Amino acid sequence: MEPTTQSKPPAPGNGGTNGHTLIHLDGVTKVFFTDEVETHALSGIYLDIRRGEYLSISGPSGCGKSTLLSILGLLDSPTDGKYTLNESPLEALSISDRTRIRNREIGFIFQAFNLIGDLTVYENVELPLTYRGMPGSERRQRVQEALERVGMSHRVKHYPAQLSGGQQQRVAVARALVGKPSIMLADEPTGNLDSKNGEAVMELLRDLHREGATICMVTHDPRYADFAERTVHLFDGRIVEETRA
Amino acid sequence: MSTLFQDVRYGLRMLAKNPSFTVVVVVTLALGIGVNTAMFSVVNGVLFDPLPFPEADHLVAVHGSKPNFLRGSISYPNFLDWQKDNHCFSAMALYRGTGMSLTGLGEPERLRAEYITSDFFTILGVKPVIGRNLAQGEDGIGAAPTVLISEGLWQRKFGASRDVLGKTLSLDGRGLSVIGVVPASFHLDSVIAGAMDRDVYVPIGQWGNNALTVRGAGLGLHAIARLKPGVTIDQARSDMSVVTQSLAQVYPDNDRGLGATIDPLKESVTGRVRSILLVMLGAVGFVLLIACVNVANLLLARSAGRSQEFAIRAAMGAGNWRVMRQVLVETALMAFLGGALGLVMAAWGTHSALAALHVDLPRAWAVGVDAKVLLFTLGISIFAAILFGLAPALKITRPDLVETLKEGGRGGSGTRHRIQSAFVVVEMAMAFVLLIGAGLMLRTMARILNVNPGFEPHNVTTFSYAFPPALAGSSAETVRAACRQLNQKLASLPGTEAVSLSWAAFPLGNEDDENFWMEGQPKPPSAYEMNWTLTYVVEPGYLKAMGISLKHGRFFTEQDNPHSPPVVVVDEMFARKFFPDQDPIGKRIHLNNTDQLAEIVGVVGHVSQWGLDSDEANPLRAQLYHAFGQLDDAPMKLSASGIGVVIRSSVAPAALIGSIRKATGELSSDRVVWGFESMDEIISDSLASRRFSLMLLGAFAATALLLATLGIYGVLSYLVGQRTHEIAVRMALGAQKRDVLRLIVGEGMVLALAGVGFGLVGGLALTRFVSTLLYNVQPTDPLTFITVSILLAVVAVAACFIPARRAAKVDPLAGLRYQ
């Protein structure tokens, strides 16, 4: 690994997006107000993520990794700063538009899989597409492709409870990629898996990246952080280090 | 036993620890148990309790069965013969209701009176508070004038003084000596369906009606009797059949075709409300079931929150039964609390509700809380405890200990959801059935109110009028003159448009009939073979006063008097029945009562005599009008003691009463006016029992709907709370608020529609039980079924919407943290 820059404002003329930049964070801060106490979860994050890049975010517990991922996934809004996705600023969007962009541009992979227990594997994977109003035939084709891609097409009628943890996370990966999002956000995707299944999921993500997917992964496990091309290290809500594989 | 006390102590602590939960459960149960207790206390008092007389099952009601009436009146001569000739009764007594003017004791007052024969009170085992009952022979014509007075009148007019015995009461101008005081505990509606308590009981021989001795006269006399020991009612029927047939041979003119109808007195008194009350008792059973299902759902939700507690208990070695008993003890405590509160509600609310509803319910005074009602309440409380406690208790006996302990009590298994959903379906189905019942009643009421009564009821005032007692001994001509004067006085009141005095039958009120045969035909050998018609005696203003249409010919004029040839007017029904394809105008008929030949001079529209909903079902519908001016001397003289008046006015009836009282007071201060009622009120009163059914069933259905709505709301709220995480995942994946709304409302609607589906089946199966309460509405009335389905669906959407909105407001980020 090779140390690169620390988190700081870009030099003038170097802070905008270029043709390859998918996400651009410009001075993003996040402050939580609770009982008259201000908690600065993120303090001035400047970060670009290029198309096709595999980025990992690491750091100790409470450093702001998950908050940053939530903001990237449009599940939360920054207190200050700018967030540009596909050259579109996102600050002024309505909740409905943010939901729509989340559905089309972002795929989530959670540590706890977050599959819905009452839905079959097929229905879980199909879920993001149903919210797009996509025709049934197209949905079927996409779901089939996604499940084949993660090697779970033989379990379409199973319920999550009938699968192992590794299999559930593969289904979750299929659900993340079925909508062909611009970026997949993975939050500790191996956190609930044993090392064998963890390895398998990481291999799957690497394969997806090799096929062109943009991935941003939060992990505190250095072994898995090394799967990424670039790793940003957070500490106390700031990017303190950036390394490249 | 000590562990049971421990369970009770712990249960009480748990109830106190969750006061809002306890209150919701106890109030829900109190509502269910309360309405059941209230309804049972009504059914118990009215139907189940025996009549309040010694050996009441030996008491029977006796009527004369005539061609048109299975339960018609008995003539006095026939009664005397039946009394003498029968072998089945230990005693028989005759009765007939009337009104009498009391004078000489303060303001003249109209009293409710009952003509009776000697054995009336002895048959019932009623002993006077003071004094004595009528002695044998004291009821005969020409006997010394005596009277029994009610305890109420005794207290009101004589200050409950024992000196009342032997004092003379002036009733209708005649002096009657008081011989006894009837106890206030005696209620006449235990003998005669719907009868109000009387002020005085007068021997029938004091009536002074010459027709009393006429064997063929139908004077509204009916009888009660006590079966001899060991005699069954069927034996009595056979015996009386022999008696009446024998009399028919002796008096063929009057008694041919006449029989005796004998009913158990209890059935006679309560029969008409029996089916209504039993349907209502069934309906409140549904309400209790719904309440239990609701509580079961609440307990299931709570048991989810307590699953870790139960798992820990099980892990510590508590057996299934031990844990189950803990839950059942808690549910029993809640059921008893609900039962106690329900009992208080029922005891307090039943009489108030009956009074507020103006219910024409026989023996309503007998409704109350007694040992049977207490036992019933205890029984349904235990039943409820088992019913709503069983599902949660069974659920906790099959816990997955490892998972539950791992989950840290988060709970919320799919099985529990399925049970709760099934419960919601059940209660929606039951609410649907009750709503269908109420809907059918509502449709019935609408149909009845749309029935044309044949008259225009608005702004029509009716009342009764008794001339001063001094007129009682006057000639018929004097009474005629007093009637004319009364008419003129009333006609001169501002706002009066038409006035008529009325005698004999009156729509939705008095009934009177007579028989006749056609001119040119031989007189039939007996009254049985003659034609029968309802008979009205009215003045020329009657047609306008009542708003009845003249179809053909003319109505009466002032020229129709005792000196002019007798004329009658008939209604369309009469014309169609007796003169099919002929013009009845100019035809003449022989009137059996007066032995007159009367000419038909007009045809008027038919009016509903028997009720808006029951007129068509009655075999006696032909109507005949006599001119009041042509009334015979004997009935004319009788009319002085009480006559009906009907007035149409341009002002509301209520505004007319004061001026009527004032104007008649100017005629004589000794006159008595009473019984003011508008025709609208008379129609409304005639529908009292239907309104009672409608309001009760409506109230039960509304309660059921409310409980079912709370049920579906509660389950969805609970599910939304349990599914916050799932909803957050969906929103993270791109579900918009509307998608979440649709998801939750959709799930609620699936339950509601399943409930509607089962309710449809249940409704189709159960509505036949209310078919006897319907009028011109099929039990499967499509409009009712469709409307109720839509109503339930709309209410369900509203109930689903609140939890759905809460679900749509889930913050996906916060929801995802909720793991």
Please give the residue range of the domain that contains residue B478: 468-670
The β-bridge relationship of strands B623-627 and B531-538 is parallel
Closest residue, chain A, to B743 (C-alpha): A131
Give the per-residue pLDDT at B818. Answer: 53
The answer to whether residues B40 and B117 belong to one domain is no
Measure CB to CB from residue B734 to each of A99, A116, A118 and give the nearest one: A99
Place of tokens 């839950």: B327
Smallest CA-to-CA distance from B42 within B534, B373, B465 is with B373
How far are the Cα atoms of B128, B150, B155, B191, B453 from residue B184, in angstroms, in the given order?
Answer: 10, 7, 10, 15, 39
Residues B187 and B361: their CA atoms lie apart, in Å, by 13
Give the per-residue pLDDT at B416. Answer: 54
For residue B16, give both structure tokens.
Answer: 């106190």
Give the tens place of pLDDT for each residue, A122-147.
Answer: 999 999 999 888 899 999 999 999 99
The answer to whether residues B538 and B660 belong to one domain is yes
* Any A CB within 8 A of B730 CB: yes
Residues B2 and A211: their CA atoms lie apart, in Å, by 72
Measure CB to CB from residue A108 to each of B725, B732, B819 and give the nearest one: B732
Q: A84 by DSSP, 3-state: which?
A: strand
The β-bridge relationship of strands B596-604 and B567-571 is parallel
Task: Please give, rounded to a whole number of angstroms, the shortest distance from the CA of A164 to a CA of chain B.
Answer: 16
The answer to ipTM > 0.90 is: no
Smallest CA-to-CA distance from B132 within B181, B87, B60 is with B181
Is residue B607, in this structure, part of any structural domain at all? Answer: yes
Give the per-residue pLDDT at B210. Answer: 83
* DSSP per position, B14-33: HHHHSHHHHHHHHHHHHHHH
Closest residue, chain B, to A94 (C-alpha): B736
Give the per-residue pLDDT at B402. Answer: 47
> Where residue A1 falls among pLDDT bands split at 50, 70, 90?
very low
Residues in chain B with CB shorter than 8 Å from the CB of A71 are: none
Is residue B440, in this structure, part of any structural domain at all? Answer: yes
Between chains, do B813 and A76 touch, taking CB under 8 Å as contact? yes
User: Testing the interface with B: which of A65, A104, A109, A116 to mutate, by most B Cβ within 10 A?
Assistant: A116
The CA dihedral of B369, B372, B374, B375, to the nearest 10 degrees, is -170
How far are the Cα atoms of A220, A239, A240, A243 from residue A4, in angstroms, in the given order?
Answer: 19, 11, 10, 5
Backbone phi, then psi, for A169, in 5-degree steps? -70, -30
**Where are any strands of DSSP class E within B355-508?**
460-466, 496-504
Is residue B616, in this structure, part of any structural domain at all? Answer: yes
For residue B655, give both structure tokens.
Answer: 């505004």
Place of tokens 């709570």: B302
> Average pLDDT per run of 10 along chain B, which is 819 residues long?
78 86 88 90 88 94 84 93 96 94 85 95 96 94 94 95 93 92 94 91 91 86 96 96 95 89 93 84 89 84 72 69 82 90 88 69 79 89 83 67 43 58 88 91 90 93 90 87 94 95 91 90 85 94 96 94 94 95 94 91 95 86 95 86 93 92 89 91 86 84 86 82 86 91 91 92 87 88 94 90 89 72
Task: Please give, rounded to a whole number of angstroms, the shortest distance from the CA of B18 to a CA of chain A.
Answer: 28
* Any A CB within 8 A of B414 CB: yes
Closest residue, chain B, to A75 (C-alpha): B813
Between chains, do A116 and B726 touch, taking CB under 8 Å as contact? yes
* Any A CB within 8 A of B812 CB: yes
Give the per-residue pLDDT at B177. Answer: 96
Is residue B461, in this structure, part of any structural domain at all? Answer: no
Residues in chain B with CB shorter than 8 Å from the CB of A99 are: 731, 734-736
Please give the residue range of the domain that contains residue A220: 2-11+20-244
* Any A CB within 8 A of B732 CB: yes
Between chains, do A95 and B737 touch, taking CB under 8 Å as contact? yes
* Any A CB within 8 A of B599 CB: no
Between chains, do B734 and A103 touch, taking CB under 8 Å as contact? yes
Residues in chain B with CB shorter than 8 Å from the CB of A100 are: 734, 736
**Mean predicted confidence (pLDDT) in A146-173:** 92
Measure CB to CB from residue B819 to each of A75, A112, A116 and give the nearest one: A112
Per-residue burial over A66-90, b = 16 or more CB atoms within 10 Å of its CB, e = otherwise: bbbbbbbbbbbbbbebebbbeeeeb
Backbone phi, then psi, for B315, in 5-degree steps? -65, -30
The answer to whether residues B444 and B483 belong to one domain is no
Between chains, do A116 and B729 touch, taking CB under 8 Å as contact? yes
Residues A27 and B635: their CA atoms lie apart, in Å, by 110
Task: Please give, rounded to a whole number of angstroms, the shortest distance from the CA of B327 to a CA of chain A.
Answer: 29
* Any A CB within 8 A of B735 CB: yes
| B395 compared with A63, residue with greater pLDDT | A63
Residue type, A55: L
Is residue B696, in this structure, part of any structural domain at all? Answer: yes
Residues B91 and B227: their CA atoms lie apart, in Å, by 8
Is residue B679, in this structure, part of any structural domain at all? Answer: no
Between chains, do B731 and A99 touch, taking CB under 8 Å as contact? yes
* Percent of chain B as helix, strand, coil, to the nearest 5: 55, 15, 30
The CA dihedral of B362, B367, B371, B376, to the nearest 10 degrees, is 90
User: Testing the interface with B: which of A32, A131, A180 to mutate, by most B Cβ within 10 A?
Assistant: A131
Give the per-residue pLDDT at B331. Answer: 87
Closest residue, chain A, to B731 (C-alpha): A99
Is residue B48, in this structure, part of any structural domain at all? Answer: yes
* Any B CB within 8 A of A235 CB: no
Task: Please give, rounded to a whole number of angstroms, the shortest distance from the CA of B325 to a CA of chain A.
Answer: 32
Measure CB to CB from residue A131 to each of B733, B812, B813 and give the nearest one: B733
Give the per-residue pLDDT at B669. Answer: 82
The answer to whether residues B42 and B76 belong to one domain is no
User: Cβ distance A198 to A209 under 8 Å?
Assistant: no
Give B146's strand partners: B177
The answer to whether residues B570 and B666 belong to one domain is yes
User: Testing the interface with A: which of B729, B747, B818 to mutate, by most A Cβ within 10 A?
Assistant: B729
The answer to whether residues B619 and B706 belong to one domain is no
The answer to whether residues B442 and B398 belong to one domain is no
Between chains, do A116 and B730 touch, taking CB under 8 Å as contact? yes
Number of Cβ pairs < 8 A linking chain A and chain B:
52
Give the per-residue pLDDT at B768. Answer: 82
Smallest CA-to-CA distance from B190 within B88, B54, B73, B74 is with B54
The answer to whether residues B523 and B638 belong to one domain is yes
- Domain total in chain A: 1
User: Cβ distance B278 to B43 under 8 Å?
Assistant: yes
Residues in chain A with CB shorter than 8 Å from the CB of B735 are: 99, 103, 131
Residues B670 and B107: their CA atoms lie apart, in Å, by 8
Residues A230 and A237: their CA atoms lie apart, in Å, by 18
Give the tens place of pLDDT for each residue, B386-428.
Answer: 878 877 777 766 555 444 444 433 333 445 577 888 888 998 8
**Geometric angle at alpha carbon B436, from B756 and B615, rounded to 5°:** 160
Between chains, do B732 and A104 touch, taking CB under 8 Å as contact? no
Between chains, do A70 and B819 touch, taking CB under 8 Å as contact? no
Is residue B692, in this structure, part of any structural domain at all? Answer: yes
Q: B647 by DSSP, 3-state: which?
A: strand
The answer to whether residues B772 and B809 belong to one domain is yes
The answer to whether residues B324 and B439 belong to one domain is no
Between chains, do B731 and A110 touch, taking CB under 8 Å as contact? no
- CATH number reported for the structural domain that contains residue A48 in this entry: 3.40.50.300
Give the per-residue pLDDT at B419. Answer: 81
Percentage of chain A lying above the pLDDT 90 cut: 53
Task: Please give, rounded to a whole number of angstroms, the shortest distance from the CA of B732 to a CA of chain A.
Answer: 7
User: Cβ distance B305 to B411 under 8 Å?
Assistant: yes
Residues B703 and B693: their CA atoms lie apart, in Å, by 15
3-class secondary structure per residue, B278-309: HHHHHHHHHHHHHHHHHHHHHHHHHHHHCHHH
Residues in chain A with CB shorter than 8 Å from the CB of B812 are: 75
The answer to whether residues B662 and B710 belong to one domain is no
User: Cβ distance B466 to B641 under 8 Å?
Assistant: yes
Between chains, do A116 and B414 touch, taking CB under 8 Å as contact? no
For residue A93, give both structure tokens.
Answer: 């969007």
Residues B523 and B67: their CA atoms lie apart, in Å, by 17
Give the per-residue pLDDT at A15. Answer: 35
Give the tens place of pLDDT for each residue, A176-213.
Answer: 989 999 999 999 998 888 888 888 889 989 988 998 88
Q: Which of residues 52-71 of A touch B (CB under 8 A)?
A: 70
The β-bridge relationship of strands B146-150 and B174-182 is parallel
Give B602's strand partners: B553, B569
Per-residue burial over B244-281, b = 16 or more CB atoms within 10 Å of its CB, e = otherwise: beebbeebeebbbebbbbbbbbbebbbeebeebbebbb
Give the per-residue pLDDT at B511. Answer: 84
> Where residue A5 falls among pLDDT bands split at 50, 70, 90?
very low
The β-bridge relationship of strands B259-264 and A106-109 is unpaired
The answer to whether residues B354 and B475 belong to one domain is no
3-class secondary structure per residue, A25-45: EEEEEEEEEECCEEEEEEEEE
- Domain total in chain B: 4
Measure CB to CB from residue A102 to each of B726, B734, B819 and give the nearest one: B734
